[in-house]
């Protein structure tokens, strides 16, 4: 008997062991992975968009909001005119939740009575679908609100009496005291009061006489820095609020100019009363 003969490869498994071997299936990684990646990306993108919109809504409604200066009534402090680069301003909406406006504050407010809306045109489209879309976008400060927002400087507050008479040479007075108004550029002013014959000077009202008017508690008296070219509280003395603006209608305090870039900077509150 020859014990050296072999009957087969010793490394070849028996037929009964084949079922115990693991089976590997090679699958294209793009077969399932690519749709999952796309789905994950879309979910993450949706979450990011929701978070960003949520933050924009909170900031626009409660903290800060951007507005565009609509006219030249606050020049040279703020600029705005047809065909020019109107200032974009940032308004602090939080400050007046804890304190009242003070003399010298530059504020944005919605028109308190219909007399302030005489020349205002709604920014909304006549198309109802677009109109609604603009309403929604305005919640996130991506579209202007459908209201007449104006910007002026607080001159007098509740309980104070404001007046101006060209004949006395004092200019605007609050409680009988003349104001110090360094923000007025006298070279820009045109005296529209016929009684003074066009004469300008430190005592000019830069317009018709008015007052005395006592500002009700909870209201303010506002005027533009471009005094002879501003339809401010003086222009609305005959309305039900006698030209004053309720604090509840004030949207906030102007803090910064953010555009155009050449005018970027803070907007100071210069108290004209002292």
Q: Which two tokens stand for residue 121?
A: 């045109």
More confident of the two residues 209 and 123: 209
Mean of pLDDT values over 189-212: 65
Tell me if 20 is assigned to some domain.
no
CA distances from 24 to 13, 21, 27, 31, 243 (A): 18, 10, 10, 17, 85
Name the residue among 110, 152, 175 with its Cα closest to residue 254. 152
Is 105 in a helix, a strand, or coil? coil
On the question of pLDDT at 23 being above 70, the answer is no
The answer to whether 230 is a known catalytic residue is no
- Convert the pLDDT of each residue in 32-58 to its tens digit: 567 778 888 889 999 999 999 888 888
The CA angle 17-18-22, to the nearest 5 degrees, is 110
- Convert the pLDDT of each residue in 212-230 to its tens digit: 999 999 999 999 999 989 9
Tell me if 1 is assigned to some domain.
no
The answer to whether 138 is a known catalytic residue is no
Tell me if 43 is assigned to some domain.
no
Tell me if 7 is assigned to some domain.
no
More confident of the two residues 208 and 234: 234
Q: pLDDT over 90 for what percent of the chain? A: 51
Tell me if 5 is assigned to some domain.
no
On the question of pLDDT at 199 being above 70, the answer is no
Q: How many domains does the structure of the chain reveal?
A: 1
What CATH number did the domain enclosing 250 receive? Answer: 2.10.109.10
Task: Check residue 241 and give its pLDDT.
Answer: 97
Tell me if 214 is assigned to some domain.
yes
Task: Check residue 11 and give its pLDDT.
Answer: 53
Catalytic residue among 93, 152, 170, 253: 152
Structural domain including 208 reads 48-266
CA distances from 11 to 4, 6, 20, 22, 24 (A): 17, 12, 15, 17, 21
Q: ω before 165 within 30° of 0 (cis)?
A: no
On the question of pLDDT at 197 being above 50, the answer is no
More confident of the two residues 12 and 86: 86
Tell me if 34 is assigned to some domain.
no
More confident of the two residues 33 and 6: 33
Catalytic residue among 71, 73, 204, 230: 73
CA 120, distance to chain mean position in Å, is 18
Q: Which two tokens stand for residue 258?
A: 């953010």
- How many Cβ atoms from other residues are within 10 Å of residue 213's Cβ? 18
Task: Check residue 191 and give its pLDDT.
Answer: 57
Task: Check residue 135 and give its pLDDT.
Answer: 87
| Lowest-confidence pick of 54-63, 197-206, 217-226 | 197-206
- Convert the pLDDT of each residue in 72-118 to its tens digit: 999 999 998 766 778 999 999 999 999 999 999 999 999 999 999 88
Tell me if 41 is assigned to some domain.
no
Task: Check residue 198 and give its pLDDT.
Answer: 47
């Amino acid at each position: 008997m020859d014990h050296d003969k072999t009957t087969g490869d010793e490394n070849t498994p028996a037929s009964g062991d084949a079922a115990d071997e693991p089976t590997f299936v090679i699958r294209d990684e793009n077969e399932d992975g690519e749709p999952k990646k796309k789905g994950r990306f879309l979910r993450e993108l949706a979450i990011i968009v929701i978070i960003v919109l949520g933050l924009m809504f909170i900031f626009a409604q409660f903290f800060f909001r951007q507005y565009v200066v609509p006219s030249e009534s606050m020049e040279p402090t703020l600029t705005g005119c047809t065909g020019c680069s109107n200032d974009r301003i940032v308004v602090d909406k939080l400050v007046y939740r804890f304190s009242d406006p003070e003399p010298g504050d530059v504020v944005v407010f919605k028109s308190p009575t219909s007399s302030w809306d005489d020349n205002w045109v709604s920014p909304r489209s006549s198309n109802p679908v677009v109109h609604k879309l603009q309403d929604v976008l305005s919640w996130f400060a991506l579209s202007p609100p459908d209201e007449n927002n104006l910007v002026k400087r607080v001159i007098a507050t509740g309980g104070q009496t404001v007046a101006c008479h060209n004949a006395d040479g004092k200019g605007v007075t609050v409680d009988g005291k003349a104001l110090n108004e360094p923000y007025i550029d006298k070279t820009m002013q045109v005296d529209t009061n016929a009684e003074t014959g066009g004469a300008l000077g430190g005592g000019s009202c830069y317009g018709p006489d008015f007052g005395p008017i006592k500002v009700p508690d909870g209201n303010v008296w506002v005027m533009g820095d471009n005094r002879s070219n501003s339809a401010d509280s003086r222009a609305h003395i005959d309305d039900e609020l006698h030209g004053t603006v309720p604090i509840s209608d004030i949207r906030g305090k102007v803090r910064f100019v953010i555009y155009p870039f050449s005018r970027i900077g803070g907007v100071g509150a210069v108290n004209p009363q002292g």
